[in-house]
Amino acid sequence: MPPDKIPVIDLSRGTTDFQLAKQLVDSASSYGFVYIRNFQEFIPADAIEKLFELNRGWTSMHAETLDSKSQRTGDFKEALNIGHFIDGKPQQPIPNAFLGHEKDINQFQIFCQRLTLKLLTLFAQGLDIDEEAGGSDWFASRHRETSPKDSILRLLHYPPIAPGSDYQPNVDFRAGAHTDYGSLTLLFQKPGQPGLEILLPSHLDSNKEPKSSWYLLPIYPSGTELDPCPPIVMNIGDLLSFWTNGVLKSTVHRVIVPQSDTDNAQTRYSMAYFAHPIGSTFLEAVPSQIVRARKARPSETNRQKPITASEHLMSRLRATYREMD
């Protein structure tokens, strides 16, 4: 499957919600990834650029202002997680570079949640969730109120690879292979700073032998080169895949230094909004015939009480850190 075949969903007013819902579910069930373009009704382009300016600001702080005790050897990146604000105020210490810009950060999170709720509404429509159970509002209603511990905005900086360093392209990665834990992720990227790869079964590409292969996603997929800013990359997280019995796929991905860039690897900046349901939400069976037709995991059919979103997150964290031990 060539990378330019990852579907591009156009949120402009010329496309009906019915069409969008079908496209989203088809894309998420096949690839787990989709591009979103013409999203400015939900997230203005200038709000994205403002946050990228702040992203560059905090990563340019002097080394002594960073908390060295929390640093560890691992991926070639720096990351800062920011939880949702309450009454317009952060619920955690923020870098000095952000002081005076709290309103911009808070507003960007609100914009991200607004787009998230729209996409979740479309997913509910595409899965044809029973109207008497909540219909198109079924997922969105479980994400509408969020706490600082639920959905997270992550600012990411991948420093340049210094010439002559011991960096090995086939061994070291800017972000190792992983899936995301939550419902869905919105990824914002800068022009000219590629690196996101996704792992897909080659049966999606009729020219390949049956196995899984890595595909580098372009910043601007074909037909979007003149857009005012790159399309958002949206991917399904483990929780939403679990919730839908695997109908929607959580796809493994990573961030690399592209081979064409390994001799002079430049800085990469990105921002990710990880959407999670309210922590106390029970991950009960989705009232959709499409989901019901997909057999649930044996461990879930034997469970007397569905787990909560928080319990699912903790189980994924435990599994991850066991693998790292």
Q: Check pLDDT > 70 for residue 49.
A: yes
CATH number at residue 256: 2.60.120.330
Question: For 17-47, how does the pLDDT look when each residue is reduced to its tens digit (9 = 90+)?
Answer: 999 999 999 999 999 999 999 999 999 999 9
The continuous run of DSSP H or E covering 42 comes out as: none
Alpha helices in 163-267 (DSSP H): 238-243
CA–CA gap between residue 122 and residue 253 (Å, rounded): 24
Q: What is the pLDDT of residue 315?
A: 92
The domain in which residue 44 lies consists of 3-324
pTM: 0.89
- For residues 185-204, give the mean pLDDT: 90
For the chain, the domain total comes to 1
Which segment of 49-63, 190-204, 269-283 scores lowest on mean pLDDT? Answer: 49-63
Question: For 68-104, how does the pLDDT look when each residue is reduced to its tens digit (9 = 90+)?
Answer: 445 444 567 789 999 999 888 899 998 888 999 999 9
Q: What percent of the chain has pLDDT over 70?
A: 80
CA–CA gap between residue 273 and residue 144 (Å, rounded): 15
pLDDT band at 320 (very low <50, low <70, confident <90, very high): confident
Q: Specify whether the CB–CB gap between 35 and 221 falls below 8 A.
A: yes
- For residues 147-153, give the mean pLDDT: 80
Q: What is the pLDDT of residue 207?
A: 57
- For residues 267-275, give the mean pLDDT: 95
DSSP class of 83: E
Q: What is the pLDDT of residue 66?
A: 46
pLDDT band at 270 (very low <50, low <70, confident <90, very high): very high
CA–CA gap between residue 258 and residue 106 (Å, rounded): 33
- For residues 104-132, give the mean pLDDT: 97
Q: Check pLDDT > 60 for residue 63.
A: no
Question: For 218-247, how does the pLDDT look when each residue is reduced to its tens digit (9 = 90+)?
Answer: 999 999 999 999 999 999 999 999 999 999
Q: Check pLDDT > 80 for residue 317.
A: yes
SS3 236: strand
Which segment of 29-43, 68-82, 155-169, 280-294 scores lowest on mean pLDDT? Answer: 68-82
Q: What is the pLDDT of residue 206?
A: 54
Among 11, 311, 320, which Cα is nearest to 177's? 320
